[in-house]
Amino acid sequence: MKLTIPPGPHNAWLFDMDGTVADSMPLHYIAWKQALAEYGCPLFPEPLFYSWGGMPVREIVATLNLRHSLSMPIEEVARRKEGLYYEQLPNLTAVPEVLEQIEEAHSRIPFAVVSGSTRESVTASLRVLGLLDKFDVLVCAGDYKKAKPDPEPFLLAAQRLNVPPETCLVFEDTEMGIQAATAAGMQSVRIPQPHERLPPQSS
């Protein structure tokens, strides 16, 4: 499957990280399930996990605390989950359709990552994929006050790249991310979720 790029001109491309550049969502889910089980949290259903794509790690823990009347230590659980994700990194691959676009357009248009993950997680993932040097700017959790679907993360990336927001093209795999891009006045390309990219099963 080849991605359809809307007509430009575009002065910058902004990429979500997990599920967009890196096919990392299944690995993050493994890490979440193990970390939450260790702290006595009820099951974190996979559809809910994907619907919360783009939400910062600490916000997910806090939201689960409220939802299940728990008092999990937010920083501790976040660190544990990140550590478990790092253990999965040898299995990480790039999303092929997005990698193709990055390789085709690199050096002729500036790139930024705009992610709800920590800078450490984003950097580690990009390093494993051999893509760290492709990106001019990284906007990660902690760099902004309001997470997606608020447009702040994308607007901050445009500011750091010194380009008008309306000239940016966003690559996103979640509804939250698409909403944030639209609110920022940016065009977007939706990246299919892992289960949408699976080839049809033969009968």
Least Cα distance to 185 among 168, 160, 173, 202 occurs for 168
Report the C-alpha gap between 141 and 143 in whole angstroms: 6
DSSP E strands, 54-203: 111-114, 137-139, 168-172, 187-190
Task: Indicate the helix (H) or strand (E) that contains 98.
Answer: helix 96-105
Asked about 143 being catalytic, the answer comes back as no
Instruction: Say whether 12 sits in a helix, a strand or coil.
Output: strand
Say how far residue 105 (Cα) sits from the centre of its chain.
20
- The active-site residue, picked from 16, 18, 23, 173, is 16
Least Cα distance to 35 among 71, 74, 80 occurs for 80
Report the C-alpha gap between 18 and 28 in whole angstroms: 9
> Catalytic residue positions?
16
